[in-house]
Structure 1
Amino acid sequence: MKVVYVFDAYCGWSHGFSGTLREVVARHPELPVEVVSGGLFTGSRRVPIREFGHVQGANAKIAELTGAEFGEAYERLIADGSFVMDSGAAARGVAALRQAAPDRAAELAAALQDAFYIDGHSLSAPAAYRTVAERAGLDADAVVAAFEAPEAQAAAEAGFHRAAELGVTGFPTLLAVVGGHATTLAHGHATADGIDRHLTDLRTP
């Protein structure tokens, strides 16, 4: 069995799920975790954040339900409404971080969301990946170089295809894959205890 985490780094609900993801990974070190970038803001959805009028209200609800933090630097970044969330760039960054530390992909995905939602870094900027890499004790120069390399774009697009193949249409989605068959463990908001119950059921003959 392995766990597949399909998220988008620019998805507030994925940010809210980060605490649950960290807890699940801590409780189940034996489970490999595949992290897939879903591609929420691509193509025609790559527009100034002001066009998504529900953002502030949604963030307040996410914070209330999950305890997730939305920092002052993030609030400043989006304050005038001109900031553009580009999931393609974020997926390139996820791929670069995953390349640097494949076994820490879930931890780094959550850290990348903190870089945006707490520290106010644009995930289109190399500085975001340098910050995450340095905090994680990784080679920051190598991570930034990987983010800017052509291979990162191919990895991002592969992730979008992978999410579609899995039938995921909303983020975050946590799946358990056993023998090629995927079962949904969580979609949107969930607790680690609830996910544990699903895992127990899957492991019970």
Structure 2
Amino acid sequence: MVLHYIYDPLCGWCYGAKPLVQAAQAVLPVIAHAGGMMSGANRQRVSSQLRNYVMPHDRRIAEYTGQPFGEAYFEGLLRDDTAIFDSTPPIAAVMAAETVDGRGLELLGRLQTAHYLEGRRIADESVLLEFARQMGYAGEAFLAAFQSVDTEQHIKASRALLAQLGGQGFPTFALERDGQFTLVDISPWLGKPQAFAAWLGQSVEVNGAGESPALCGLDGCA
């Protein structure tokens, strides 16, 4: 049995689900698929409009999940009108880490913390390489992997999987068993990673996700 995780690095609800992903990894394989929520035409420069749009959602995510959001994010990054929110560079970094040694989800977790707690600009290549080195990657080898991954094709395949599953946005989780997929509604488990891991460990049959409040749309967190 495998848990598929369709995410975006700039999705607040995906950050809220980070402890669930980490707990799940102790139970079964987790395969990450990046959806490119703020890639291409959807990349945005930070502005007062963007800040006013995301802050209420982020505060709700913090309340609902217990995940910390830092002042460096709210009062630093979200006020930095030179910063760009672009999903593609961090997706490429996660794909590179996965290619090198299978630690893509570990790097994703680090980048989520960097963005939402530390207010770092995770669309900047220099920042991505900094965190890769902190995780022990050799700079040149990681950069080569980073530059060689095909993010466009990966995002296209991830969105095709999302459509196949009937998922509505990010994050979407689905258990695959013997080639059969079952959507997992994570909303009852947010803030309860150990309970989620125990549930997964019992291999409980799941009967669809239904409406979940823990969701970012395909083009943004609403």
TM-score interval, smaller chain: 0.7 to 0.9
Task: Say whether the 8 Å CA contact 1:185–1:198 is kept in structure 2.
Answer: no
Shift of 1:79: 0.9
Shift of 1:89: 2.5
SS at match of 1:128: helix
Task: Say whether the 8 Å CA contact 1:130–1:141 is kept in structure 2.
Answer: no
- For 1:130 and 1:16, how far apart are their aligned partners in 2? 24
- For 1:69 and 1:81, how far apart are their aligned partners in 2? 23
Query: Could you tell me which residue of structure 2 aligns to residue 11 of structure 1?
Result: 11
- Alignment RMSD (CA, Å): 2.6
Task: Say whether the 8 Å CA contact 2:24–2:200 is kept in structure 1.
Answer: no
Task: Say whether the 8 Å CA contact 1:121–1:127 is kept in structure 2.
Answer: no
Higher helix share: 1
Aligned residues between the structures = 199
- For 2:20 and 2:149, how far apart are their aligned partners in 1? 33
Query: Could you tell me which residue of structure 2 aligns to residue 181 of structure 1?
Result: 180
Deviation per residue, 1:14-59 (Å, 9 max, x gap)? 1111122112223x1xx21111101211344323343443211111
Q: Judge which range, 148-157 or 133-142, deviates more.
A: 148-157
Task: Say whether the 8 Å CA contact 2:33–2:154 is kept in structure 1.
Answer: no
* Residues 1:43 and 1:151: Cα distance change in structure 2 (over 3 Å): closer
Alignment-mate amino acid for residue 39 of structure 1: G
Q: Judge which range, 17-26 or 7-16, deviates more.
A: 17-26
Shift of 1:72: 3.5
Query: Could you tell me which residue of structure 2 aligns to residue 88 of structure 1?
Result: 88
- For 2:72 and 2:88, how far apart are their aligned partners in 1? 22
Task: Say whether the 8 Å CA contact 2:61–2:67 is kept in structure 1.
Answer: yes
Query: Could you tell me which residue of structure 2 aligns to residue 133 of structure 1?
Result: 132
Give the 5 Å matches for 1:97-112. 97-102=97-102, 104-112=103-111
Give the 5 Å matches for 1:155-170. 155-170=154-169
Where structure 1 has 5 or more consecutive residues not aligned to the other structure, the ranges are none
- For 2:37 and 2:153, how far apart are their aligned partners in 1? 17
Q: 1:79 aligned to 2:79?
A: yes
* Residues 1:119 and 1:172: Cα distance change in structure 2 (over 3 Å): same
- For 1:139 and 1:89, how far apart are their aligned partners in 2? 18
- For 1:47 and 1:187, how far apart are their aligned partners in 2? 28
Shift of 1:156: 4.3
- For 2:131 and 2:164, how far apart are their aligned partners in 1? 29
SS at match of 1:182: strand
Query: Could you tell me which residue of structure 2 aligns to residue 202 of structure 1?
Result: 205
User: TM-score, normalization: structure 1?
Assistant: 0.81
User: TM-score, normalization: structure 2?
Assistant: 0.76
- For 2:139 and 2:30, how far apart are their aligned partners in 1? 23
Deviation per residue, 1:62-84 (Å, 9 max, x gap)? 12222222233333122145533
Task: Say whether the 8 Å CA contact 1:6–1:168 is kept in structure 2.
Answer: no
- For 1:143 and 1:164, how far apart are their aligned partners in 2? 32
Q: Judge which range, 54-63 or 123-132, deviates more.
A: 123-132
